[in-house]
Structure 1
Amino acid sequence: MNNSIKRFVVYLVGLFISIGYLLFRYKFLKDVNDFHKEILVASAFAVIISCLTGIVEIAKAQGKYFWIALKCFLLIPNKKVYVSLSYLLRIKIPGEEKYFLVKGSKINQYQPVGGVYKLVGNKDLYKDWKASPKADGKNPRDLRFFVDAKFLPQIINWFYSRKDREIGVWREFYEELVKTQILNADNFKSIRAEFLRTKENILCKQTRFENEVYHTLIYDVFQIELSSKQSKEFNKLFKTDNFNEKYAFVTEDDIKRECFDEHKTRIGQHTKYIL
């Protein structure tokens, strides 16, 4: 993506030079010889057409990320960006307008099951993009790190290529619900997950971490399709205890308000993405 932006800058410079020459030629130049009339003017118009065509093609190829790439490359190349690339699981109880959330392990709030993707294979984002992990990062293969803004367009492009990273959602489901014995392992040996959408929050101003200027958060949202046995188990949880120190069943309104239990218990802001 950086190469595309470099080409864009070259096209832009060529465009300005050609337009500047034509303005000079027709507004200020008095005695015009044939070299100007037949060669330079024609060349200037040809360059303008070529540059405009190139700019349009680059903008179309990059789509909605074009202006983001331009901003990162030209305006904020060395600003620190915190990047988190993760997935959220929407678990809705059949027959009930209730969503299943779990207690956060780091923040005192309830939130969807899910977490950051991990690297697989030999990809080294610390070498490729000079990234640095979070201070409390226990696993350097988590896709949660700090990076200079100039690398962000490459990272977004790589993320959507789905190469060298997790693409499944079972790991977090197992760790948060099966391994913790909230759910019976016999009924949850596997799950079916339907991809719903991707939610992005790119280059939002934040100051949560030291030296950080921007956040870039990307969430893939999946819906868990429960089998009959799995549905029965969630219904049993709901009827037995719909709110405890491990999990909670909440309504859509609760999620929109970002709290429940008479406003005493917090729901994570990102939970709204599962609605």
Structure 2
Amino acid sequence: MSKELKRFFGYAIVLFIAVGYLVYRYFYLSPVTDFHREILVTCAFAILSTCALGIYETIKCQGKYFMTAVRCSIFIPNKETYVSLSYLMRIKLSGAERYFLVKGSKVDQYQPVGGVYKIIGNKDIYKEWEAHPKSDKKNPDDLRFFVKAKHVPEIIRWFKSRKDRETGVWREFYEELLETKIVSQENFQTIRAEYLCSHENILSKQNRFKSEQYHTLIYDIFQIELSPEQFEELNKLLAKKTFTKHYAFVTKDEIEKECFNNHKLKIGQHTKFTI
């Protein structure tokens, strides 16, 4: 349990004691001595206001993840949870109203360019959070691992701080589009990526993996602002062929249906987050 939650429950216990005393004083205690009337009641109200403020500040500090923190600390602290922290790129050709996707390397589907973030620096998630990788995991720096649920609030807080991890999208863009020669080095020496939003699925009950009981997925969504040269190159790809075994240009409707080419080809479910 985090220090903030310990503080919260400490405040809550003391607050209930103060409220209990005031109920006893005003509804049950008789006769009332000056000690109760002048000293204990004053102290109880002072404690009440201090604890209420402390509880408010603790909840404010946790923000929208407060109930998640309570749930992880009290109800499911030792449940196995799969965590994946990643980013997706929206590459849209305005005018044609087509979204540019690539073929997945592990799953037989088309999906947005993107992938999991990597750790940068000396942070040891395996020691700090008792994390362990997926069985097929080859890169220990990937932010995709299993942990006990009690560590999830701290992981989210760390991820949001943007410390000791990747924050840009160039690496996956380069690996999926330049190394594969789908687009040219000449026109895509750099890209301009604008952060749009994040999609979160915190502690959903899943059993996709053998030992997993919950999923915690966070996707950062970035819009790739194409230069005139980049836009022209992708337009030429579209004119040449709508899809190949490496990439596809699909419509919003096809993304929502999660398939295209007369339902023969699959689109990843998470692609919807980019439209």
Instruction: Give 1:27's aligned residue.
Output: 27
Instruction: Give 1:200's aligned residue.
Output: 200
State the distance in 2 between where 1:94 and 1:67 align.
41
Q: Amino acid of the residue matched to residue 96 of structure 1?
A: A
Instruction: Give 1:252's aligned residue.
Output: 252
1:134: Cα distance to partner?
A: 1.0
Contact 1:83 1:145 in 2 (8 A): yes
State the distance in 2 between where 1:233 and 1:28 align.
82
Of 198-207 and 23-32, the range deviating more from structure 2: 23-32
State the distance in 2 between where 1:127 and 1:206 align.
25
- TM-score normalised to the size of structure 2? 0.95
Unaligned residue ranges in structure 1 (runs of 5+): none
Instruction: Give 1:181's aligned residue.
Output: 181
Instruction: Give 2:12's aligned residue.
Output: 12
State the distance in 1 between where 2:239 and 2:174 align.
22
1:173: Cα distance to partner?
A: 0.6
State the distance in 2 between where 1:172 and 1:187 align.
17
Instruction: Give 1:137's aligned residue.
Output: 137
2:156 matches 1:156: yes
SS in 2 for 1:59: helix
SS in 2 for 1:196: strand
1:205: Cα distance to partner?
A: 1.2
Q: Deviations over 1:129-172 (max 9, x none)?
A: 11111111110100001111111111111111111101111110
State the distance in 2 between where 1:64 and 1:31 align.
46
State the distance in 2 between where 1:269 and 1:84 align.
15
1:74: Cα distance to partner?
A: 2.0
Instruction: Give 1:86's aligned residue.
Output: 86
SS in 1 for 2:199: strand
1:32: Cα distance to partner?
A: 3.8
Contact 1:22 1:41 in 2 (8 A): yes
- TM-score normalised to the size of structure 1? 0.95
Q: Amino acid of the residue matched to residue 29 of structure 2?
A: L
Q: Deviations over 1:188-233 (max 9, x none)?
A: 2221111111111111111111221211111111111122221122
Q: Amino acid of the residue matched to residue 59 of structure 1?
A: I
State the distance in 1 between where 2:99 and 2:145 align.
30
Q: Deviations over 1:47-67 (max 9, x none)?
A: 111111111122223221112
2:83 matches 1:51: no
What's the Cα RMSD here?
1.5
State the distance in 2 between where 1:38 and 1:214 align.
53
1:42: Cα distance to partner?
A: 2.1
State the distance in 2 between where 1:264 and 1:51 align.
60
Instruction: Give 1:73's aligned residue.
Output: 73
Of 252-261 and 39-48, the range deviating more from structure 2: 39-48
